[in-house]
Every structure is written in structure tokens, then in C-alpha cells.
Amino acid sequence: MRKKIVAGNWKMNLTVNEGLVLIEELKKEVSSGIMADELIVFPPYIHLTAMVENAQNEILVGAQNCHQEENGAFTGEVSAHMLAASNIGHVLIGHSERRAYFNETNDLLAKKVEVALNASLTVVYCCGETLPEREENRHFEIIKSQLTEGLFHLTAEQMANVVIAYEPVWAIGTGKTASADQAQEVHAFIRKLVYDAYSTSIAQGVSILYGGSCNPTNANELFSKPDVDGGLIGGASLKAIDFIQIANAY
């Protein structure tokens, strides 16, 4: 049975001390029990060691990115093996902001996926369409290419360590809203793509998260959809009460 996962992407927010306070607040809530199978936070690189030490495995800690090479002269970058050696278990790859602001291509992301899995990290692979792509009715085409070129080179065994996150970029910070039915439509499409590329068991085993402005108000309706297995949360993950409400929206 696939996991129910709620993951919080802190992006470039919070100081280390602010992050530690948030971790402590989350631990108090988690100790009382939550509905999600996994609660993951993705802090900035500089926070990771402190968050791992304080999360004490009650909350999982992931990185927001990794480099596509195992090591070398890449000033300012962090490798997947460095993350794994710091007891990081998950890494985000292909987030819409990395694609848009840092020009990350599907081919580059395929290399990052490979190096992350080789370091025994669980990959949270992001895909999704922009507003122009949605308005041009190209969203299925875009998502198919993102998955086919960036992810489907993996073996079935490797896919067991992959989570997929769907980000409707057009519904993030634009004032437009993706309905739960729209989310389900795309999640079902993604699961069918996995089925076509692999098998029924792989398709039914992969968790697919929704990353389009999920919050305590809409999480329950979103998570009630059969192919929505949780959320990749942005702003709402910076407030413990909101994040926990979402983690209990099953």
C-alpha cells in the first residue's frame, strides 16, 4: 500500500533558530500521532545538520536540491553523497523553481535522479505545467516529457525509491486555483504513465503528491481523491499548526 506523505518545502525561509523552533513545535504534535505515514521537511542546506539532530527521526529531513556529479570542482554545490553522509534521507529534484530560475532541463534532472538514488536517497521528483502551457492545453504533453525524459530511464527497482510531486505552476501565487478534480485528473494521468512505463504494481506503489497551494482549507478535499497521496507544501509548512492540520487531512 502506498504511503501517505506530507512534505514541507521551506525554500529560502527561516533562520536556523527559527527552524529549530518549528521542529520542536512539530515534534510535540507528532508525538500525539498524525494521519500521514511520513512527515518530511526540506530546509535550506545550511540548516540540515541542525534539523536532523533535533528531529531525532520523529520528522524526516530532506534537501531541496543536489548536484548532478558525485564530487569535483563545483564551488557552492552539494553532492548527494554529502547529503547521505549527513543522515539526509530525501531530496527534491526538478522543483518548478529550479526549472524556471536555474534552467534545469529534463536531461540534467535525469542525472541528478541517478546520482541521488546511487547515494541511497529517496527522490521526490517534481513535474508540472506553467500557466501558458495549461492555457494552450499542453499540460499532459509537458508532464509526459518531464517524466519520460527525467525519470523513466530508471529500473523498476529504482522506482521503488521515488516519490512524484505534481506542481501546477499556474496555480501557485497567481490567484488562480486548481480544483481537487483537476488535481485528480493529472494525478491519474501520471499514474497511468507509470503503469505504461513499468507495471501495475509499480504504478500502484508510487506515492504522488500534490504541490499546488495545498493548505488546511483544501487539503481534506484534495487528499480524498483516489490518486492524491499527500502534498508538497510551501508556505503552509512554515507554520506548525497549519502543517499538522494538513498532515491530519486524510
Catalytic residue list: 95, 167
CB 204 within 8 A of CB 163: no
Instruction: Tell me how far apart the alpha carbons of residues 209 and 143 are, in angstroms, rounded to a whole number.
Output: 14
DSSP label at 36? S
CB 95 within 8 A of CB 126: yes
CB 233 within 8 A of CB 7: yes
Give phi and psi for 179, each to the nearest 5.
Answer: -75, 165
CB 36 within 8 A of CB 45: no
DSSP label at 86? T
Instruction: Tell me how far apart the alpha carbons of residues 130 and 68 are, in angstroms, rounded to a whole number.
Output: 25
Spatial CB neighbours of 204, under 8 Å, sequence gap ≥ 6: 2, 191
Q: Which helix (H) or strand (E) holds 236?
A: none
The beta strands (E) that lie in the chain are given as 5-9, 38-42, 60-63, 90-93, 122-127, 162-166, 208-210, 230-233
Instruction: Tell me how far apart the alpha carbons of residues 5 and 230 are, in angstroms, rounded to a whole number.
Output: 5
